[in-house]
Amino acid sequence: MELDQLRYFLQVAQRQNFTRAAEDLAISQPALSRSIQKLEEELGQPVFERKTRSVALTEAGTLLQARAQQVLTILEDTKAEITDDGQSGRVRVGAIPTIAPYFLPEVLRQFADAFPKATLIVQENTTDVLLRSCTQGEIDLAILALPVPAKYLEVEELFEEELLLVLPPEHPLVARERIRISDVEPYPFVLLDEAHCLSDNIASFCRQRSFQPVAVERTSQLAMVQELVSLSHGVSMIPAMARQLDQSDRRVYRSFTGKKPTRTVAVAWNPYRFQCRLLIAFRERLRRQRAAAGGTGSASAKA
């Protein structure tokens, strides 16, 4: 049994397809086939069930997948731990799409300046994918919004951030001095796909006020939501950090009067993995950024 075999195996298991996995691994498909064959020969039974259009893990394969993952993570962490000089290394950050472009760039810039030898890798994905990646050691930490449904992960809250009402310029509510959450109930919403946790945050906040926002349209990007609001397709709620970067005058942001809707931004990581000094430094920077981001966010909301 060789480590390459295990890496190959894991890729095939993930892709459920030899050809694609071979491409990912930058080897030829025959080489991959033979490598897996050899592994199966050694184990005395197949790890994949070859179906006509794809492959599936056998029982043995499922067991091997967990252990192979574990072994490779241990070795990777060991290597990191030994070579940890606090300066060079790799930090793989995951963030949800409604945070990434608004919060990360400044942190990344500062971090890259402070640690020029470090390699930063950013992955943008939905909460569930990020948490799985974090658990499996594919990323080192994830920046997302509460709630975080994950056992075995350490979660630290960074800051609470206001969700602002965004309106088309000609919307009747624009003229209002004070807007309460109940005031928006009659108006249709533009929301993100259900995969995005921001939709959950908004729905959850509305539910507390006993109404369900009616989505007339669902998009996959926050920028698209903003554009659709400008075109009067509906109203929406946008995190303060996204409002910061919005230079357009084709929409208007308003802070709610009374109890304001918020989301809490947090960082999650796998405490069972080795935490190199670079990682600890990165989390420290996230905490420092917290004050800044949270502060600006609120300030802007009041403006």
Partner DNA sequence: AGCATCCATGCACTCAGTGCATCGCTCCTT
Partner DNA sequence: AAGGAGCGATGCACTGAGTGCATGGATGCT
Out of its own copies, DNA, none, what residue 45 binds, judged by CB under 5 to 8 A for its kind, is: its own copies
- Give the H/E segment covering residue 178: none
C-beta of residue 173 within 8 angstroms of C-beta of residue 180: no
β strands within the chain, DSSP E: 48-50, 55-57, 89-95, 118-124, 141-145, 154-167, 189-192, 215-219, 236-239, 252-254, 262-269
Closer by beta carbon to DNA, 6 or else 266: 6
Figure out which of the listed residues 70, 87, 182, 208 binds its own copies, where binding follows CB under 8 A.
70
Closer by beta carbon to DNA, 55 or else 95: 55
Closer by beta carbon to DNA, 20 or else 285: 20
Out of its own copies, DNA, none, what residue 35 binds, judged by CB under 5 to 8 A for its kind, is: DNA
Distance between the two ends of the chain, CA-based, in angstroms? Answer: 63
d(CA 247, CA 149): 35
56 touches its own copies by CB under 8 A: no
d(CA 12, CA 34): 13
Task: Give the burial class of 113: count Cβ atoms within 10 A of its Cβ; 0-12 exposed, 13-18 middle, 19 or more buried.
Answer: exposed
d(CA 194, CA 200): 7
Instruction: Give me the least distance between CB of 8 and DNA, in Å please.
Output: 8
- Scan residues 267-296 and list those touching DNA (CB under 7 A): none
Closer by beta carbon to its own copies, 74 or else 231: 74
Instruction: Give me the least distance between CB of 89 and DNA, in Å please.
Output: 24
Instruction: Give me the least distance between CB of 21 and its own copies, in Å please.
Output: 21
33 touches DNA by CB under 7 A: yes
Return the structure tokens found at 49: 């069930």
Number of residues forming the site for its own copies (CB under 8 A):
21
Closer by beta carbon to DNA, 23 or else 217: 23
Q: Which amino acid is it at 49?
A: E
Return the structure tokens found at 194: 């259900």
Closer by beta carbon to DNA, 50 or else 302: 50
Label residues 174-196 b or e (16+ Cβ within 10 Å = b). eeeeebebeebeebebbbbeebb
Closer by beta carbon to its own copies, 2 or else 157: 2
CA distances from 121 to 101, 104, 142, 149, 211 (A): 14, 12, 12, 24, 40
Instruction: Give me the least distance between CB of 38 and DNA, in Å please.
Output: 6
C-beta of residue 149 within 8 angstroms of C-beta of residue 81: no
- Scan residues 26-45 and list those touching its own copies (CB under 8 A): 42-45
Instruction: Give me the least distance between CB of 50 and DNA, in Å please.
Output: 5
Part in contact with its own copies (CB under 8 A); list of ranges 75-83, 163-171, 172-180, 203-211: 75-83
110 touches DNA by CB under 7 A: no
d(CA 143, CA 91): 13
Figure out which of the listed residues 34, 79, 176, 180 binds its own copies, where binding follows CB under 8 A.
79
User: Interface with DNA by CB under 7 A: which residues?
Assistant: 2, 4, 17-19, 26-31, 33-38, 50, 52-55
User: Interface with its own copies by CB under 8 A: which residues?
Assistant: 1-3, 42-45, 60, 63-64, 67-68, 70-71, 74-75, 78-79, 81-83
